[in-house]
Amino acid sequence: MIALVQRVSEAAVAVAGETVGSIGPGLLVLVCAETADTELQAAKLVDKLLRLRIFADSAGKMNLSVVDVQGGLLIVSQFTLAADVSGGNRPSFAAAAPAEHGRMLYEAVLRMARERHPEVAAGRFGAHMQVRLVNDGPVTIPLRIAA
């Protein structure tokens, strides 16, 4: 799985002008399932998200997790993270999981995150979404969870 994690002061996702998910301080996580991914990668991703130490401690060092700071998670599906532009200027998305497989893994990530963290908001799989965020830092971390 591929994820792009952004530490945010706030973030929200809307579909057709309606906000479907929002958080205050926490992590905005854009998630893409790849063809060979399974629920094992989904579980590893959730574990990494909850343990990733990218929030400042009292000394100003990145030493705290989203759990430690009681931040929110906003998890949004984004198949375009699998884009391959090595063959030209038009991206290929062949590495992205087919829609139903991607949906199943996205829903697994949401389910596992909600089982382990009190504040988890989400986008809407397959929808055209508008994502608003205030990146705090800025801090943006790319993650790849191997199969």
Question: pLDDT of 20-41, one tens digit each?
Answer: 999 999 999 999 999 999 999 9
**Active site includes 55?**
no
Q: Strand 72-77 and strand 26-32: pairing? A: parallel
**Contact at 8 Å (CB) between 124 and 15?**
yes
What's the CA gap between 102 and 104, in Å, rounded? 5
Condensed to tens digits (0 to 9), the pLDDT of residues 89-131 reads 999 999 999 999 999 999 999 999 999 999 999 999 999 999 9
* Domains: count for the chain: 1
35, 80, 93, 130: the active-site residue: 80
Give me the pLDDT at residue 143, please. Answer: 98
pTM higher than the cut 0.75: yes
Coil/strand/helix, residue 37: coil
**Contact at 8 Å (CB) between 45 and 105?**
no
**Active site includes 38?**
no
The pLDDT of residue 147 is above 90: no
**Active site includes 78?**
yes
CATH of the domain at 32: 3.50.80.10
6, 41, 55, 79: the active-site residue: 79
Residues in Cβ contact with 61 at an 8 Å cutoff, skipping those fewer than 6 apart = none
Q: Which domain holds residue 64?
A: 2-144
